[in-house]
């Protein structure tokens, strides 16, 4: 199987071909990547056509993170075919940045023009509540990495992609029409896996971040580079270090995510139906 580190375009095309063969679906329209605690949302998005282990598609390492599944699910949602990744590849697991981007690149190769990214995040802005969902309007890449580093493959996208509207205004407006209470926020993406220190949280706030997490930004860059529209939803599963008064624990993050995942799954399903 083609290696996404050495040839990300060819690897994505190969994985998309395996996906079509294993699911019997020649082309998907929308891809959804589910973050920590979001897995129950996959059951709310339509009729399941097929489940394929992500590792069986090629180019995906096995995920070892609690709360992250490892399947690519093909779903029929009205006239749309939705590709749901019930887990994601993280940089902090020791993976290459091209492996982190492989899911969204595979989705684009499979025909997806819209990528919906979800994550669990720490809330920084005053008034944020655990269980609250927010739309991302922008991000700050604090990972020290980019999926575009190295020689550019024009088949993937341009050398210097514009990120001034990385998070699609059209899709954000559509989401607000469905759920008017949705607020927007700026996401600060750290590498992890350790939670941020209070000083790092303070730094992120000074820089303009209102949420912090360990995913999403690299996938967004790769998706926009490939020409896809991106919508991202963050679920506040904890208040960031130094703000909540308690130590952070991943089990608490998963529990908070599970409590809102079905509600968020309904929201994402409604968005997909209206695209």
Per-residue pLDDT of the chain (275 residues; tens, 9 = 90+): 578 999 999 999 999 999 999 999 999 999 999 887 677 778 888 899 999 999 999 999 875 444 445 899 999 988 889 999 998 899 999 999 999 999 999 999 999 999 999 998 999 999 998 888 999 999 999 999 999 999 999 999 999 999 999 999 999 999 999 999 999 999 999 999 998 998 999 999 999 999 999 999 999 999 999 999 999 999 988 876 556 556 656 566 566 666 677 777 788 888 888 88
Classify residue 125 by its DSSP letter: S
- Taking CA atoms, 22 is separated from 58, 68, 140, in Å, by 12, 22, 37
From the list 70, 74, 77, 215, the catalytic residue is 215
Q: Known catalytic residue: 28? A: no
CA nearest 111: which of 190, 19, 248? Answer: 19
From the list 28, 90, 98, 102, the catalytic residue is 90
Q: Known catalytic residue: 183? A: no
Element (H, E) at 80: strand 80-85
From the list 28, 68, 102, 225, the catalytic residue is 68
- CATH 3.40.50.720 for domain 8-274: no
Sign of CA dihedral 101, 164, 125, 200: positive
From the list 141, 250, 255, 258, the catalytic residue is 250
Rounded to 10 degrees, the C-alpha dihedral 120/125/127/129 comes to 10
CB 89 within 8 A of CB 145: no
From the list 109, 128, 204, 214, the catalytic residue is 214
Which pLDDT score is estimated for 69? 52
Q: Known catalytic residue: 90? A: yes
Q: Known catalytic residue: 15? A: no
Q: What span, in angstroms and rounded, lies between the C-alpha atoms of 167 and 217?
A: 10
From the list 120, 204, 222, 226, the catalytic residue is 120
Residue bearing tokens 């020409």: 227
Q: What span, in angstroms and rounded, lies between the C-alpha atoms of 16 and 18?
A: 5
The residues pairing with 96 across neighbouring beta strands, listed in sequence order, are none
Q: Known catalytic residue: 168? A: no
Which pLDDT score is estimated for 66? 42
Rounded to 10 degrees, the C-alpha dihedral 53/229/149/84 comes to -10
From the list 12, 16, 31, 36, the catalytic residue is 36
Q: Known catalytic residue: 120? A: yes
From the list 7, 17, 20, 93, the catalytic residue is 93
Q: Cis link prior to 230 (omega < 30° from 0)?
A: no
Q: What span, in angstroms and rounded, lies between the C-alpha atoms of 236 and 135?
A: 11
CB 185 within 8 A of CB 232: no
Which pLDDT score is estimated for 186? 98
From the list 98, 238, 241, 269, the catalytic residue is 238
Element (H, E) at 82: strand 80-85
Q: What span, in angstroms and rounded, lies between the C-alpha atoms of 192 and 117?
A: 18
Classify residue 168 by its DSSP letter: -
Which pLDDT score is estimated for 242? 54
From the list 92, 95, 184, 202, the catalytic residue is 92
Q: Known catalytic residue: 187? A: no
Q: Known catalytic residue: 95? A: no
The reported pTM is 0.92
Which pLDDT score is estimated for 7? 94
Q: Known catalytic residue: 214? A: yes
Q: Known catalytic residue: 238? A: yes
Joined together, the tokens standing for residue 262 give 């079905």
């Amino acid at each position: 199987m083609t290696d996404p580190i050495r040839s990300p375009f060819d690897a994505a095309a190969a994985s998309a071909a395996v996906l079509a063969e294993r699911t019997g679906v020649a082309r998907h329209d929308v891809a959804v990547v589910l973050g920590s605690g979001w897995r129950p949302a996959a059951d709310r998005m339509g009729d399941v056509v097929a489940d394929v282990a992500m590792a069986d598609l090629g180019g995906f390492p096995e995920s070892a993170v609690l709360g992250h599944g490892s399947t690519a699910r093909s779903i029929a949602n009205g006239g749309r075919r939705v590709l749901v990744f019930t887990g994601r590849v993280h940089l902090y697991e020791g993976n290459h940045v091209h492996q982190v981007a492989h899911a969204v690149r595979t989705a684009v190769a499979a025909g997806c023009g819209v990528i919906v990214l979800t994550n669990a995040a720490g809330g920084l802005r005053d008034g944020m509540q655990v269980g609250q969902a927010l739309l991302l309007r922008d991000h700050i890449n604090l990972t020290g990495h980019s999926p575009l580093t190295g020689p550019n493959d024009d088949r993937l996208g341009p050398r210097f992609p514009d990120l001034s509207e990385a998070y699609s205004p059209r899709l954000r407006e559509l989401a607000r029409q469905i759920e008017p209470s949705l607020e927007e926020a700026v996401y600060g993406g750290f590498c992890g896996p350790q939670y941020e220190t209070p000083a790092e949280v303070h730094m992120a706030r000074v820089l303009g971040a209102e949420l912090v997490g360990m995913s999403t930004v690299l996938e967004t860059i790769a998706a926009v580079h490939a020409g896809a529209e991106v919508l991202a939803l963050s679920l506040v599963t904890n208040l960031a270090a130094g703000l909540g008064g308690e130590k952070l624990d991943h089990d608490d993050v998963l529990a908070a995510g599970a409590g809102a995942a079905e509600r968020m799954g309904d929201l994402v399903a409604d968005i997909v139906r209206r695209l």
